Amino acid sequence: MDAIGQPLPVLHRVPGASRPWLWWLLAAHAAVALLWWQLGWKAGLALMVATHLACLWGVFWPRAAMYGPVLSHLPASDRRVWLTIDDGPSDDTPALLDLLDACGAKATFFLVGERAAARPELVREIAARGHGIGNHSHGHPQAWFWALGPARMRREIVQCQETLRAITGCPPRWFRAVVGHANPFVSAPLRDCGLARVAWDVRAFDAVRADPAGVVAHLESALSPGAIVLLHEGSPHGRNVEMIALLLQRMQALGYATVLPEELERSV
């Protein structure tokens, strides 16, 4: 139940077996053919372009649910937010764990399978400190994740899942798509692994911006109860720990605390 006694919605939504996007696409193409026949090629072509743009929106917009359910905000009514940290484990991980401990904060680390396999002791330490661990693909194919075919998509998700389960003894429940992208082939392996896809509603491009004050100011301006905050570790600019330290300081000043979705699920 939430703060006013209302039941909370289900947060962990694994994709189902149905493919609503496929039926939508078939209906759209039937409409294109009909319009082309009735009104001519200009009208038909315009509708065809529009339907394809809608499909691309489902690929590139992280909160789009065209290719399966996606969680982008928590149903918290008080000042609690979900910190999510992508791309580890990395050299930043030990410092981040100490920082979170010092601030009494919890986060979910969305880990890359190859990096986890290379540094399993860091993965185990994340779990031992009470933080969440999520699946962030096995090889982090940043440039091409959106265009992966069914075999490669399955391999990226399943191999990371198996790697993290072998290290911690517990399979992750959450999946963060690389760059937040999705396509029609993401849902089947998520369903088979029992994974729910997570996006975000607060970000400041901290993986590429080397300005901690500017990054945190942007994050602060977008904070709200239940926000899912996208953060990174191990970025080339080397300032992620500094950014997260400053963010936690500002959150404390504003009266914000952290929450993991499992804590909200237990209160349903």
Q: Indicate which residues carry an active-site annotation.
A: 86, 232
- Name every residue whose Cβ is closer than 8 Å to that of residue 192 and which is 6 or more positions away in sequence: 158
CA dist 56 and 61 (Å) reads 8
Cα torsion through 216, 221, 83, 8, rounded to 10: 180
CA dist 48 and 31 (Å) reads 9
CA dist 161 and 190 (Å) reads 10
DSSP class of residue 66 equals T
CB-side exposure of 2: number of CA atoms within 13 Å? 15
Peptide bond into 89 cis (omega under 30): yes
CB 111 within 8 A of CB 88: yes
**Residue-level length of the chain:** 268
